[in-house]
C-alpha cells in the first residue's frame, strides 16, 4: 500500500511540475495552447520538446517563435519553430516520427520504415529539407533585412536516421537528442551579424505571424489540401 501511495504521489508531483514548467515557457506565452492540448497532440508536443532542448539559449538572448504563418504569393506557409539570435535565424522543421528514416537532400520523397509483424512496412513523406527550404524562402522574402538562415530538421528520439545524406552547409538533420550540441556548434563557428536591437526588431516583425486568426489557419489547411 505504501508503494502505491508513493507512486501516486510521484506522478502527481511530476504532473504538477510539468504543467508549471509549461506555463512558464515561451512556447505557452506565444501559442497560448493548453497543456493537455499540446501533450496529447503528437505534432505540437514534438515542437514543444524541440523547444525544451534549446530553452537555455534564451539566457543568451535568443528568442523563439512558434507556428508562424508567413505570407506567400499563394497564401501562407507554416514554420513550426524558429530561433532568432545575433548569429541569424534558425528555422526548425520538427518531425515526431518513429521507425527508420532514409533520404537524400535532393530526393522528393523520403522513406519511413516501420516494423510490422515479422516484416516491415514503408511509408513515404515529402522531403523535410525541401519543405523547410520553402519556409526559408518565404521568410527571406517577408523580412525587411538580409539575415543568415539555417535549416534544421529535427526528428524525435523514437526514430533512427538510418541513411540520411545532406551536403549543403546551412542544413542539418538530426535526432532531437543531438539538437543542442549541433546548434551550439553552429553558434560557436559563426560571428554575430545582428545587434540585440536587430533581434528585437525581427522578433516584433514576425510575432504577428504567430498570432493569426483561425480563418487564416483554415485557409492554410485548405490550400495544402488543394495542392
Average pLDDT over residues 160-166: 94
Residue 115: per-residue pLDDT? 79
**pLDDT score of 221 more than 90:** no
Using a pLDDT cut of 70, give the percent of the chain over it: 92
**pLDDT score of 5 more than 60:** no
Mean of pLDDT over the chain: 90
Give, as one character, the DSSP assignment of residue 167: -
**pLDDT score of 12 more than 80:** no
Give, as one character, the DSSP assignment of residue 118: T
Question: Is-contact 131 93, C-beta < 8 A?
Answer: yes
pLDDT band with cut points at 50, 70 and 90 for residue 160: very high
Question: Is-contact 185 178, C-beta < 8 A?
Answer: no
Residues 6+ apart with CB under 8 A from 131: 93
Residue 203: per-residue pLDDT? 96
pLDDT band with cut points at 50, 70 and 90 for residue 10: low
Helix (H) or strand (E) holding 225: helix 214-226
CA atoms of 31 and 100, how far apart (whole Å): 31
Using a pLDDT cut of 90, give the percent of the chain over it: 72
Q: Taking the CB of residue 139, how many other CB atoms lie within 10 A of it?
A: 21
Question: Is-contact 177 54, C-beta < 8 A?
Answer: no
Question: Is-contact 94 27, C-beta < 8 A?
Answer: no
Average pLDDT over residues 125-134: 96
Amino acid at each position: 500500500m505504501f508503494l502505491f501511495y508513493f507512486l501516486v504521489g510521484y506522478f502527481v508531483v511530476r504532473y504538477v511540475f510539468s504543467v508549471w514548467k509549461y506555463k512558464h515557457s515561451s512556447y505557452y506565452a506565444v501559442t497560448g495552447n493548453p497543456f493537455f492540448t499540446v501533450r496529447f497532440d503528437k505534432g505540437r508536443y514534438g515542437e514543444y520538446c524541440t523547444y525544451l532542448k534549446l530553452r537555455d539559449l534564451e539566457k543568451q538572448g535568443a528568442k523563439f517563435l512558434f507556428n508562424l504563418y508567413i505570407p506567400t504569393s499563394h497564401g501562407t506557409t507554416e514554420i513550426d519553430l524558429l530561433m532568432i539570435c545575433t548569429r541569424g535565424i534558425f528555422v526548425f522543421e520538427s518531425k515526431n516520427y518513429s521507425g527508420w528514416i532514409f533520404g537524400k537532400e535532393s530526393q522528393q520523397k523520403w522513406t519511413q520504415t516501420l516494423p510490422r509483424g515479422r516484416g516491415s512496412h514503408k511509408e513515404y513523406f515529402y522531403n523535410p529539407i525541401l519543405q523547410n527550404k520553402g519556409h526559408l524562402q518565404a521568410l527571406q522574402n517577408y523580412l525587411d533585412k538580409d539575415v543568415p538562415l539555417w535549416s534544421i530538421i529535427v526528428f524525435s528520439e523514437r526514430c533512427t536516421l538510418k541513411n540520411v545524406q545532406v551536403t549543403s552547409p546551412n542544413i542539418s538533420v538530426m535526432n532531437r537528442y543531438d539538437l543542442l550540441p549541433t546548434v551550439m556548434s553552429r553558434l560557436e563557428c559563426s560571428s554575430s551579424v545582428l545587434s540585440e536591437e536587430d533581434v528585437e526588431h525581427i522578433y516584433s516583425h514576425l510575432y504577428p505571424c504567430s498570432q493569426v486568426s483561425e480563418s487564416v489557419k483554415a485557409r492554410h489547411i485548405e490550400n495544402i489540401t488543394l495542392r
